[in-house]
Amino acid sequence: MNLKETLRVLLIYLAVSTVIFISSLASPSKVFELQISTTFVSLILLIPLFIWYKRCRGKLNLSLETKAEKGFVLAEVLVMFSVAMAIRIPMVLFLGMAYEKTAIVYLVVLTILLIKRNYLEAYGFKTEGFVKLVLVGLAYYLAWALPLFGMLFGLTYTFTDETLFTSYNPLIDVFIFPFMTLCVGISEEGLFRGFMQTRLAKAYGGRKALFTQALLFGVWHFVWHVSPFNPIGMLFHVLSTFIFGLAFGWFYKESGTLVPLILTHGLIDTVGAGAVLNPKLEQMEGLIQSFQFASFAVSIFILILLTKPLARKARTQVGENIFPLRKVAVASTTSTWVNLPNNSLEASWSTMGLYV
């Protein structure tokens, strides 16, 4: 490992994190749960990284071949996870939102380019056939969203004679979508599926890589329930996102590309933010949450069933053999519903995407 480049990457990572943290002090104004100033700064900071990559890509002596030492890779992955978590925890606890995303994009991209000396394509960042990949990502999202929302709306109206929403403001979704896709989607898919799963599969095989990154992805979400401490909500959130991690990891294994997953991730975390829940349903909180549980279980089951066929639609030539060692079987399963610490109906609706 190049110590000089490693220190360089860490310093840039800390610098970007500091700028984002300071930007949160500029203005308390929010749309949904995102501070306007911090959201814009997070997005703008992606631009210099993109420009630098375009200008320097040909000068870095990069390779598509990923090298991984079996005894070193797990430690490497855990260090990356810890470094990312070291910024994530204070961001969530002190700012109330996971604003570490852009810093993690820098961490992942610069680690691949400067330390591993690989092209980003070797870790799933492939844009060939971009329109097709976007359409597959949209289809993958709909495979989850249509049964979820359709069943939830149907059950609510059938058993309560009430609509789930009283109004919906799509402008909120429009505002948060770029952050949820370009910052959240790229950072988490790049870290867990792109970097971790690729490295682990090279050293330990596809099955262990799939399970390990999904487990870490689940643990990644415990921080939402630390303050106030909510162990039940924490357990449900970790388990639910672990299942998402398995599905998304399986998709990546079969396709070799992250683009559809980045879009799906962004849409899951976006759609529903502009909803105003029917206040009459607050009196039927237990019943509505049981509908949420049933709807979520059915939708995640359908998502898993459609993962392999949709992933193969997105399969790219570069990276098809990233996971050559074993065929992975993902057991279809159901999940539990996740509530935020206050355990209210509105809070449980806001975790429809579980910040996956």
Q: Cα angle vertex 228, ends 227, 232, to 5°? A: 105
Q: Is pLDDT of 278 > 50? A: yes
Q: How many CB atoms lie within 10 A of CB 119?
A: 19
pLDDT of 222 reads 97
Mean per-residue pLDDT for 17-38?
90
For residue 85, how far is the Cα from the chain centroid?
A: 14
pLDDT of 32 reads 84
Has residue 355 been placed in a domain?
A: no
Number of domains in the chain: 1
Kindly write down the DSSP assignment for every residue of 28-42, as one continuous string: --EETTEEHHHHHHH
Q: Is pLDDT of 331 > 80? A: no
DSSP at 317? S
Has residue 188 been placed in a domain?
A: yes
Which of 134, 172, 140, 144 is CA-nearest to residue 270?
172
CB 172 within 8 A of CB 290: no
CA dihedral 173, 121, 50, 47 (to 10 degrees): 10
pLDDT in tens, 145-200: 999 999 999 999 999 999 999 999 999 999 999 999 999 999 999 999 999 999 99
Has residue 356 been placed in a domain?
A: no
pLDDT of 321 reads 44
Q: Where are the beta strands (DSSP E) in the chain?
A: 30-31, 34-35, 165-168, 275-277
31 Cβ contact list (under 8 Å, min separation 6):
39, 172, 175, 176
The residue type at 47: I
DSSP at 322? S
How far apart are the C-alpha atoms of 150 and 139, rounded to whole Å? Answer: 16
DSSP at 171? H
Can you give the residue range of the structural domain that contains 81? 3-350
How far apart are the C-alpha atoms of 133 and 311, rounded to whole Å? Answer: 10
